[in-house]
Amino acid sequence: MLMQELVDNKVHDETRQGEAFLPQTSAGKAFRKHFYIESYGCAMNFADSEVVASILQDNGFGATRNAEEADLIFINTCSIREKAEQTVRKRLTEFRKLKKQKPGMLVGVLGCMAERLKSKFLEEEKLVDMVVGPDAYRTLPGLVEEAETGQKAVNVMLSRDETYADIAPIRLNSNGVTSFVSIMRGCNNMCAFCVVPFTRGRERSRDMFSIINECEDLFSKGYREVTLLGQNVDSYYWVNSSGNAVTFAMLLEKVAQVSPLLRVRFSTSHPKDITDEVLFTMAKYENICNYIHLPVQSGSTRILQLMNRTYTREWYIAKVNRIKEILPDCGLSTDVITGFCTETEADHQDTLSLFNYCRYDLAYMYFYSERPGTLAARRYADDVPENVKKRRLQEIIDMHRLHSLESMQRDVNKTFKVLIEGNSKKSDQFWAGRTDHNKMVIFPKENHHLNKGDYILVKVEECTAGTLLGKISG
């Protein structure tokens, strides 16, 4: 697989693709039926599955991690690249076998692929009983009832105001320390390559009070880190009942004030929208992590214009400089696409030189995959051969690998405040936690009586490409 994540990161976690969820809260409760849900794609989808689980549980359905024992199987899908859709289709053929063994079983497709293909899904994938778009999850209980009568149930209506603000998500497979909190839905940006505006609809921001309540509730339950989620968090804009507007900088400050012990992260920032106010708010609060995910997509101004990103290479570089000026120690990550329509070797060299300038701590790197219906699919030929797209991607990956290793090596011999997330995967004699820069740190427990959710100073002694290894300091 060419998309590569060199450092373990939670916002888009490749290791979680296809994860099936089992909420601890359902243990011991009697449910009339059981559902199994598997999620693909970005963090928003994983957060949505927690909303779906909450809606289903309120209607008498309990979660199971075992697809064979489920009455309902849901697959929360991603359409961002063709490969993501192929993965889902393959998974559906596996569910076909299960359905043959258990004829009453219902299969539902949720999320972006459901929205993109709508009822075509019912024709293409004969075994699917329900097709439900990302704004229609409240209607799931009714759709299940309809499907139970043998009819196919579809709701792919997009909404201008649905934010699921009042639904308390059920934390699924949570470590009990870190959590996503959705602050907005949809996207108005129309980047030429991107299917999101078509599958997730218009941008809308969630009621600030419901966000703060959710963060306070998480804190009271022992959580110590929230990641505020949206396709474009910096354009968060919510107007309260007295007509006063709340911007992302204001929201960030309110969340930071929930407790100095609650770490705050956010993703994703569009370079055109992140403001100085946001950067100053980050500088003001120690508990807002010094880390920004700032997708560049390309280092060539010509390609950026075709992509409709609304900034130039120089403008992006000026933004990175401004970030470093206000937050000298800020970690930086990005997304990039190689082989977008008409991309030349010179454009590609521009991307490499931009990477060399920014020296990202982390990068999500993709080759361009044309998505039906997008601006690019309608206007431009997908004219860069696949082998060229992949070769350019590999060159970027190779360069980034050096930068990310450099970034890990810079941390050796330094001491960091680490939030403990739980035991290390390899041994319960070691803790695993993260630095402010979202880097995983593994260190021996020794005789300190610590718990997950505690903060501790750790001195880093060595590193691998993706992990820091250290010892409790002093």
Give the binding site for ligand SF4 (CB under 6 A): 187, 189-191, 194, 196-197, 231-232, 270
Q: Which does 368 bind (CB under 5 to 8 A by kind): ligand SAM, ligand SF4, none?
A: ligand SAM
- The DSSP-derived string for 312-353 is -HHHHHHHHHHHHHH-TT-EEEEEEEES-TT--HHHHHHHHH
- Identified binder of ligand SAM from the candidate list 371, 389, 392, 439, rule CB under 6 A: 371
Residue whose CB is less far from ligand SAM, 192 or 256: 192
Distances (CA, A) of 281 to 98, 316, 470: 51, 21, 30
Chain center to CA of 325? 27
* Smallest separation (angstroms) from ligand SAM to the CB of 337: 5
* Smallest separation (angstroms) from ligand SF4 to the CB of 379: 15
How far apart CA 198 and CA 114 sit, in angstroms, is: 11
Task: Find the part of the chain contacting ligand SAM (CB under 6 A) among 100-108, 128-136, 322-330, 366-374.
Answer: 366-374
Binding marks (x or -) toward ligand SAM, 323..362, rule CB under 6 A? ------------x-x-------------------------
Site for ligand SAM in 195-224 (CB under 6 A): 196
Residue whose CB is less far from ligand SAM, 332 or 468: 332
**Bridge partners for 111 per DSSP:** 77
Residue whose CB is less far from ligand SAM, 193 or 431: 193
CB 437 within 8 A of CB 291: yes
Neighbours of 232 (CB within 10 A): 20
> What value does the CA radius of gyration of the chain take, rounded to a whole number of Å?
22
Residue whose CB is less far from ligand SF4, 80 or 250: 80
Neighbours of 384 (CB within 10 A): 20
Residue whose CB is less far from ligand SF4, 197 or 339: 197
Rounded to 10 degrees, the C-alpha dihedral 253/49/205/156 comes to: 170
How many residues lie near ligand SAM (CB under 6 A)? 18
Residue whose CB is less far from ligand SAM, 154 or 362: 362
How far apart CA 290 and CA 58 sit, in angstroms, is: 38
> What are the residues binding ligand SAM (CB under 6 A)?
42, 80-81, 193-194, 196, 231-232, 268, 270, 295, 297, 335, 337, 366, 368-369, 371
